[in-house]
Amino acid sequence: MSDQQTKEPAVASRTFDKQGDATDQERIEAAMAGFAAEFGARTALYMNACVRCGLCAEACHFYLTTGEAKYTPIHKIRPFEKAYRQTRQPFSVLARAFNLAPGPSLDELQEWQELIYDSCTLCGRCTMACPMGIDIAELVKEARHGMYQAGLMPDRLAQITHNAEVKHSPFGEPEDFLKAISDIEAEFSIKLPVDRAKADLLFTLAPGELDEHHSSVAAAARIFDQLGVNWTMSSEAFEATNFGYLSGNVDLQRQLTCRLIDKAREIGASVVLLPECGHAWGAARWEAARWYGAPLDDLHVMHMIEYLAKHIESGAIRLKPASGTVTFHDPCQLVRRGGLGEAPRIILRALGMDLHELEDHGEEAFCCGGGGGVLANTRAEPLRLKAFELKKRQVEATGADRFVTSCGQCRLQFDRGAKSTGWSKQVESLLELVAANLTD
């Protein structure tokens, strides 16, 4: 998360305010109602499939780096499971009548808040390890919906979510966006298209690009220019990140999704291009139609690395060789959860770089430790640093000169980790690497 976001004055979210006045029982009921809204056939299947084998534990970076039993993935969904057993499992009416399946208490929900917001990056590595195919990452995400309803979420994440609700973006208002674009134009002596009435491609940004990674915006502009694309950014729909998706605020998730889709249609764009951001890909590519409530057949939601790989393969983007050996961190939401594992390797091959893969890479890669809103949650820093150390050891073991990734949140997590531990390795953006090696 950018410094701009972490330095905002404290403002609680609307639901947080409302729930702040709620009684314990009202909070429990709000959480249970939020959980119940998620209980369908798939959840029932998951809840009844666990054989308590413990294999998911060895997949989770937070359990592996702390050794604490409470961080085992299956433990993180216990109150959600309790709520299911109390309300939806067969004979739950009888179970309730005889108090055989008590639901979670407020103390349990409070304790659980740390587990599902601080110690889960929704990375899905445990999901891959589970022999029963239980998607724990998805269950944690669904459980956040109930926690949000009960006002049980980390203050910092609530504040940033509130900013996304009332200011348009965690970064700020449209005027803040226009100011940042003007700063980037001055910094790189370029002109950037904003608010064109018609364009073929709507380019969106994450707060990290508007704040710390200005060079990524300039890099994208350079590539669009070489391709001769008719593109624009929009001051009314510039935000690619979705803090509704991360916090559990489904109304906000829907609102942010619809904003991007509606703007793309208004300007006649056929492509909504997402920046180097992981969860934006999950929210806008894989969940957009669900929240929009209609198919999006006329729009192609693309991630930057997918876009680059496509144009490199077609020969439209021509590259000169880049120097050095390289290792690549696979962002979980792009690769394991998002199906884009080949795209970065197409790009690195086209750059002629000698790729030294991490011990765990591709779909098996460990999370950076900051995904799923954990980077935005300042109190989770000690836990994040432990996950960072795991990744740092793997990067060093490759002996590669350069360390590259394609998610701004991963970059910020590595930058923060490097600063805290005095690590000299600088993580680089794949997009910026491409732009720096375009042939003239």
The angle formed by the CA atoms of residues 204, 208 and 209, to the nearest 5 degrees, is 50
Selection from 215, 187, 218, 220 nearest residue 202 by Cα: 220
Query: Nearest approach, Cβ of 80 to ligand SF4 (angstroms)?
Result: 12
**Which residues, at least 6 apart from 425, have a Cβ–Cβ distance to it below 8 Å?**
392, 395, 396, 403, 418
For the stretch 293-310, what's the b/e string if a residue is b when 16 or more beta carbons lie within 10 angstroms of its beta carbon? eeebeebbbbbbbbbbbe
Query: Binding string, 138-157, against ligand SF4, x = CB under 6 A?
Result: --x-----------------
Residues near ligand SF4 (CB under 6 A), total? 28
Q: Please select the residue that binds ligand SF4; options are 30, 31, 83, 136, rule is CB under 6 A.
A: 136
Q: How far is the CB of 47 from ligand SF4 (least distance, A)?
A: 10
When binding is defined by CB under 6 A, the residue of 5, 13, 121, 159 that contacts ligand SF4 is 121
Q: Pick the piece of the chain touching ligand SF4 (CB under 6 A) from 57-65, 104-112, 275-283, 343-351.
A: 57-65
Q: Rounded to whole angstroms, how far apart are CA atoms 82 and 92?
A: 11
Task: Give the residue, chosen from 1, 31, 32, 126, that forms a contact with ligand SF4 under the rule CB under 6 A.
Answer: 126
Contact between 132 and ligand SF4 (CB under 6 A)? yes
Binding mask 378-407 for ligand SF4 (x = CB under 6 A): ------------------------------
Closest distance to ligand SF4 from the beta carbon of 343 (Å): 22
Site for ligand SF4 in 353-382 (CB under 6 A): 367
Helix (H) or strand (E) holding 271: strand 271-274
Helix (H, G, I), strand (E, B) or coil at 139: helix
Q: Which is nearer to ligand SF4, 122 or 264 (CB)?
A: 122
- The mark string for 168-207 relative to ligand SF4 (x by CB under 6 A, - otherwise) is ----------------------------------------
45 is a contact residue toward ligand SF4 (CB under 6 A): no
Residues 6+ apart with CB under 8 A from 342: 309
> Residue 165 in contact with residue 252, Cβ under 8 Å?
yes
Q: According to CB under 6 A, which one of 31, 56, 147, 158 is a site residue for ligand SF4?
A: 56
Nearest-approach distance from CB 59 to ligand SF4, in angstroms: 5
DSSP code, position 37: T
Taking the alpha carbons of 340, 355, 120, 17 in that order, is the dihedral positive or negative?
negative
**CA angle (233 as vertex; 217, 161 as ends), nearest 5:** 85
Q: Which helix (H) or strand (E) holds 402?
A: strand 402-405
- HSE (side-chain half, CA atoms, 13 Å) at 195: 7
Q: Is 120 in the site for ligand SF4 (CB under 6 A)?
A: yes
Which CB sits closer to ligand SF4, 130 or 199?
130
CB of 133 to ligand SF4, least distance (A): 8
* Contact positions vs ligand SF4 (CB under 6 A): 50-56, 59-60, 62, 73-74, 76, 120-126, 129-130, 132, 134, 136-137, 140, 367
